[in-house]
Each structure stands twice: as structure tokens, then as C-alpha cells.
Amino acid sequence: MGAIISGTGHYVPEKILTNKELEQLVDTSDEWITTRTGIRERRIAGKGEATSHLAIQAANRALESAGVSPEELDCIIVATVTPDMAFPSVACIVQEQIGARNAAAFDIEAACTGFIYGITIANQFIQNDFYSKVLVIGADTLSKITDYSDRNTCILFGDGAGAVIVEKSEENRGILSAKLGADGSGGKLLHQPGGGSLNPASVFTIENSMHYIKMEGNEVFKFATRKMSSSALEVIEKANLTVEDIDFIIPHQANIRIIEAASKRLNISKDKIFTNLDKYGNMSAASIPVALDEAVRNSHIKKGDNIIIVGFGGGLTWGAAAIRW
Ligand code: ACO
């Protein structure tokens, strides 16, 4: 018995924020952003458009592509660092809105690695015969916590949601192996200090911009290139495969230079690596499932292909999974 991904879907907001527009906000240039990151534009959620709104659209598309009705779902897991509010969870909001009345629902938080944590949890539920059909969503609206006067961060992030249905199957394919990791000592390299129980929302936290993402870009960069390649290799070995057996890699879409450095370390050709960060930037937990859905819908991924999803993020966290499609 295995856990296959039987359907995928994604949604991004309509509003586009280009590099040229960012030139009006901070001291930067289209040329700097493109050469240092590979990002050309990103999507931004509108006023009143919350993470759950994006997640619901992605979920409905994934359900449709899997041919699964909302009532059949046993569980909904949403990976996000930008929930609509502290509670209820985004997963509970999605559960109500899509009519998944038989599903348990909860959020998890592992920043940009959240989707990989989510499908690994779903895989365990299915392998243990606890659930048969789990909806896993990666959804974030980082624009809501981005300081558009900080050129170190505001050029990087965009909003979006991606979803998959993880389903019990007797077929000889599905999630083959997974690896999750964390190093809390790097927490300060990427964090949002205000608004939680340590620094509850107050005039002080707002005046000191504590509700925005703070990042040590260089340190995150070095950590990311190391972990992307090592965790991909670990899941390849764990699945009894070699790098040559891999048909496609879907990496977290943070920076084209991180992806290129990791692919060099893995010694895998660029045409086997999916990227869409030029259009969307870094969408945190949504990056991998949005890329996965685009790769499936554009027929880059075909049944029987061996694929790797791999990512890193705040926490610090990292993870990878090998999947036979
Ligand atoms: N426009 C123009 N110049 C800039 C900009 C900008 N937007 N941002 C920084 N600079 C300047 C810096 O001030 C610096 O100037 P100086 O040399 O005069 O001091 C110079 O450019 C070089 O800065 P670096 O920080 O060394 O630039 P780097 O090549 O490292 O690129 C970047 C910065 C893009 C942030 C890179 O470090 C990166 O991608 N890091 C990883 C970020 C990431 O992946 N975060 C994950 C978030 S995941 C999550 O969990 C939310």
C-alpha cells in the first residue's frame, strides 16, 4: 500500500507587482533583482484577500483534478506562516468553505518547507491506515508581512496557494521516501518578531516594524545551497534510486542562484529542474505545490516519472521527498 498524489491545483492573485514598480518603492533596479534572484514579477493579494481565499481556490482545483468530492476527505493540512488570524486555523476555514464536513483540519508551520512537512504527515496517516484521502495545501500571503521599504526582502516575496490530494493506493508508485530537518539555532536569520506571545501586537511593535519579515539574506543563501543538495541526495538514496534515475526536480523557488548552485552540487542538468520564480517570486509554503501543479498541467511530469521535491525555509527548516508519479 502506498500514498499517491492523485490531484493537484493552484491559485495566485491577479495583481502583478513588477520589478519596475519596485524601483518606485525602494532603491533597487530591475537589472539587480533579475540578475541576483531571477525574479521578474510576483503576485500580490488584494486588500481583504486572505490566505484562506487563495487556499480554497487551490483546494477546489486539486479536488477536481483528483475526481474527489469534499465529503470524501478525511483530513485537511494547511502549511502557512500567514494564517488569516491566530485561530481558527486556515485549515478549519477551508474545511467549512469547501464543504469537507467529514475532515479533521489543522495548520502546520515550517515556513517555506511547510508543504514538504505537510505531505510527509499525510503520507504517515495513510501508511498507518488512519486516513485514505488527505488534502494538503501550501498557502501564504507574505506580502501582508513584508516591509515595502526594505529592499533586502520586498523584492523576493509573492503570494499564492498550491494544493494536492494524497490518497491511499495499491499502485506501485507514490511517495517513496522523505526527509525533514530543522536547526532552531538559525531561527533569528529569518523571523517575524512581532504579533506573537513574546511581543504581542502593540503600538510599540508597530512603531518598530516588528510585524515584518526580518532576514539575513546571505546566511540563508549559504544554508539553502547546502541543504537543498544534501536533502535531495538523502531521499534519492533512501528510495534506492540514483541521481540518474531522477526525471524531474521541483525545488523551492527562492532564488535562481540557489537552485543553480544546488543543481551543480547534484550534478543534474538544468532541463530537469522546474522553475517559475520569474513569474511569482518566493511564495513560501506555496512555492513547491504551485510549481508542482504547473509542471503536471504543462506535461513536464508524466506518470511513472521519478521526481524530487526539495525546499528550505525559516526555522530554520528543510526537507525533501522522492515521489514516483
Ligand atoms: N537592490 C539593489 N541593491 C541591493 C538590494 C536590492 N533589492 N538588496 C541588497 N542590495 C545591496 C546590498 O545592500 C549590498 O550592497 P553593499 O555591497 O553596498 O553592502 C549588495 O546589494 C549585495 O548584497 P547581498 O545581500 O550580499 O546580495 P546577495 O547577492 O546575497 O543577494 C539576496 C541578496 C537576494 C537576498 C540573497 O542573499 C538571497 O536570495 N538569500 C536567500 C533568501 C531566501 O531564500 N530567503 C528564504 C525565505 S524563505 C521563508 O521561509 C520565508
Could you say which of 112, 123, 255, 306 is catalytic? Answer: 112
CA distance 284 to 85: 17
Nearest CA to ligand 1 atom 8: 152
Mean pLDDT to the nearest integer, 42-52: 97
Mean pLDDT to the nearest integer, 9-15: 98
Distance 152 CA to ligand 1 centre (A): 5
The atom of ligand 1 lying closest to the CA of 317 is 50
Residue type for position 1: M
Distance 286 CA to ligand 1 centre (A): 21
Residues 168 and 181 in one domain: no
Q: What is the pLDDT at residue 299?
A: 84
CA distance 281 to 19: 11
Residues 73 and 100 in one domain: yes
Q: Looking up cell 534519492, which residue turns up?
A: 236
Residues 144 and 261 in one domain: no
Q: How far apart are the first and last CA of the chain?
A: 15
Could you say which of 19, 123, 255, 282 is catalytic? Answer: 282
Q: Which pLDDT band holds residue 150 (cuts at 50, 70, 90)?
A: very high
Residues 19 and 132 in one domain: yes
Structural domain harbouring 9 = 2-172
Mutation choice for ligand 1 from 221, 275, 282, CB with most ligand atoms inside 8 A: 221
Q: Which of 107, 142, 172 is the last residue of a domain?
A: 172
CA distance 30 to 22: 8
112 catalytic per annotation: yes
Contact 282, 112 (CB under 8 A): yes
Q: What is the pLDDT of residues 49-77, one digit of tens each?
A: 999 999 999 999 999 999 999 999 999 99
Q: Which pLDDT band holds residue 289 (cuts at 50, 70, 90)?
A: very high
Q: What is the pLDDT at residue 172?
A: 85
Residues 143 and 183 in one domain: no
* Predicted interface score ipTM higher than 0.90: yes
Residues 213 and 158 in one domain: no
CA distance 324 to 240: 12
282 catalytic per annotation: yes
CB 190 less than 6 A from any atom of ligand 1? yes
Residues 183 and 160 in one domain: no
Q: What is the pLDDT at residue 53?
A: 98
CB 255 less than 6 A from any atom of ligand 1? yes
Q: What is the pLDDT at residue 245?
A: 96
Distance 15 CA to ligand 1 centre (A): 24
CB 282 less than 6 A from any atom of ligand 1? yes
Nearest CA to ligand 1 atom 2: 28
Q: What is the pLDDT at residue 212?
A: 97
CA distance 253 to 313: 11
Mean pLDDT to the nearest integer, 258-285: 94
Q: What is the pLDDT at residue 130?
A: 98
Mutation choice for ligand 1 from 218, 219, 223, 228, CB with most ligand atoms inside 8 A: 218
4 φ/ψ angles, rounded to the nearest 5 degrees: -105, 160
Residues 125 and 188 in one domain: no
**Given a cut of 90, is residue 80 above it in pLDDT?**
yes
CB 113 less than 6 A from any atom of ligand 1? no
CA distance 286 to 128: 27
Tell me if residue 237 falls in helix, strand or coil.
helix
Residue type for position 212: Y
Residues 189 and 312 in one domain: yes
Strand order in the sheet with 75-79: 2-11, 159-169, 133-141, 75-79, 104-108
Closest to 287 measured CA to CA, from 101, 159, 130: 159
The percentage of the chain sitting over the pLDDT mark of 70, rounded to a whole number, equals 100
Give the HSE-up count for residue 277: Cα atoms under 13 Å, Cβ half-sphere: 30
Mean pLDDT to the nearest integer, 180-204: 96
Residues 13 and 36 in one domain: yes
Residue type for position 28: T
Residues 162 and 182 in one domain: no
Distance 191 CA to ligand 1 centre (A): 16
**Given a cut of 80, is residue 1 above it in pLDDT?**
no
The atom of ligand 1 lying closest to the CA of 314 is 50
Q: C-alpha distances in angstroms, 219 versus 140, 215, 293?
A: 23, 9, 30
Q: What is the pLDDT at residue 114?
A: 98
Distance 118 CA to ligand 1 centre (A): 29
Q: What is the pLDDT at residue 113?
A: 98
Domains identified in the chain, total number: 2
- Facing residues of 181 across strands? 318
For the four alpha carbons of 29, 33, 39 and 42, in that order, the dihedral sign comes to negative
CB 149 less than 6 A from any atom of ligand 1? no
Q: What is the pLDDT of residues 199-228, one digit of tens each?
A: 999 999 999 999 999 999 999 999 999 999
**Given a cut of 90, is residue 86 above it in pLDDT?**
yes
Residues 156 and 242 in one domain: no
Contact 75, 306 (CB under 8 A): no
What integer best gives the mean pLDDT of the chain? 96
Q: Which of 147, 172, 197 is the last residue of a domain?
A: 172
Q: Which pLDDT band holds residue 310 (cuts at 50, 70, 90)?
A: very high
**Given a cut of 80, is residue 286 above it in pLDDT?**
yes
CB 288 less than 6 A from any atom of ligand 1? no
Could you say which of 252, 255, 300, 306 is catalytic? Answer: 252
Which CATH number covers residue 6?
3.40.47.10
CA distance 60 to 165: 10
Q: Which of 172, 201, 220 is the last residue of a domain?
A: 172
Q: What is the pLDDT at residue 216?
A: 93
CB 151 less than 6 A from any atom of ligand 1? yes
**Given a cut of 80, is residue 288 above it in pLDDT?**
yes
252 catalytic per annotation: yes
